[in-house]
Amino acid sequence: MTERDVFLPVGAQPTLDALVEQAITAEELGYDRAWFPESWGRDAVTAITTAAERTDEIGLGTSIVNVYSRSPALLGQTAATLQEATDGRFRLGVGPSGPIVIENWHGMEFGNPLRRTRETIDIVKQVLDGEPVQYDGEYFDLDGFKLRCGAPDPAPPVDAAALGPKMVELVGRFADGWHAVNYTKDGIAERLEDLERGAELGDRDIDDLRVTLSVSCCALEDEQRANDLVAQHIAFYIGGMGTYYRDNLVRQGYDDLANEIYDAWQEDEREHAIDLVKSELREQMGAAGTPEQARTQVEQYEAIDAVDAVYISFPRGATTDEIHETMTALAP
């Protein structure tokens, strides 16, 4: 049975307490896991630690922490500590993010994200094994690092976010799960083939990999408001978050549309970009409308072969009340 998770908007909440209250609510509503992103608001580690103290059963995880702003050894230490703090409920989600975030915000060279993600996953898993880390890579050369505390048992799984075919293949070879973000209902199929090919190259069983699909959702009695919010959110990611989400949509067969949305957003024709999403893309991406309509759409994503979990994420323009209304309407 496909799990239903929730993606909490860390930076959008007025206080840390308000954010953690959402995790508590998600647990009460029966969600399987709460994912905490990390971008330019609150850090995910503190948020998860606080949520761990105030919840009992819901799984907790990062989606995602980038592989540049912390060293792989520190990410391994962090994962081990959070597994302890959550009593075994933690999953680490990592990813390269993009050049705007890494270079403009963190002041680091983006370089080869594929190789850096591979090396980070390798090293984190060695750290979590509890043995001395020996690693000779392109980015990292480690000798002798070892957890002084006991290694977590079981070790938390290490997932990775990926958009392009080579990165998804890498996830299949080396990670424990794939976070799929900004995919259409039809477009994810080709990337699932890449994941399976990676699993074969790594001599791994594809059934052992957890595929988590992100779906931007808004379920309100005000059907138009819900659709407007999700369309605006999709347009923002395609048009305003660098070029990688645009390129990801191009790979899914929406070449002209992806570029038209991107160009409109960049030229400050935001309403045109949103209208394009509404008229030509919204039925393939996101879940929005009345509670009944949104629930039906979420179930369509859950029915996709090989998807193990769908996480309910919320449009960036949604208010705290609208987030709560959507979370409640779409609860498992």
What pLDDT digit, counting tens, does each position of 294-304 carry?
999 999 999 99
Does pLDDT of 10 surpass 80?
no
Interatomic CA distance for residues 246 and 43, integer angstroms: 27
pLDDT in tens, 137-192: 999 999 999 999 999 999 999 999 999 999 999 999 999 999 999 999 999 999 99
Q: Is the per-residue pLDDT at 11 higher than 80? A: no
Confidence band, pLDDT 50/70/90 cuts, at residue 13: confident
pLDDT in tens, 25-67: 999 999 999 999 998 889 999 999 999 999 999 999 999 999 9
Write out pLDDT tens, residues 189-233: 999 999 999 999 999 999 999 999 999 999 999 999 999 999 999
Mean local confidence (pLDDT), 316-328: 94
Instruction: Quote the CA–CA distance of 219 and 293 in Å, as a whole number.
Output: 8
- pLDDT at position 298, please? 98
Ramachandran region, residue 111 (left: φ > 0; alpha: ψ -120 to 50; beta: rest): left
Q: Is the dihedral of CA 93, 99, 105, 108 positive or negative?
A: positive
Cite the DSSP H helix spans in the chain. 16-29, 44-54, 72-85, 99, 113-129, 165-174, 188-201, 223-240, 244-251, 255-266, 270-280, 291-302, 320-329
H/E segment holding residue 144:
strand 141-145
Residue 12 has pLDDT above 80, yes or no: no
240 pLDDT more than 90: yes
Of all residues in the chain, what percent carry a pLDDT higher than 90?
94
Centroid of chain to Cα 236: 17
> What is the mean pLDDT of the segment spanning 5-13?
83
| Average per-residue pLDDT for the chain | 96
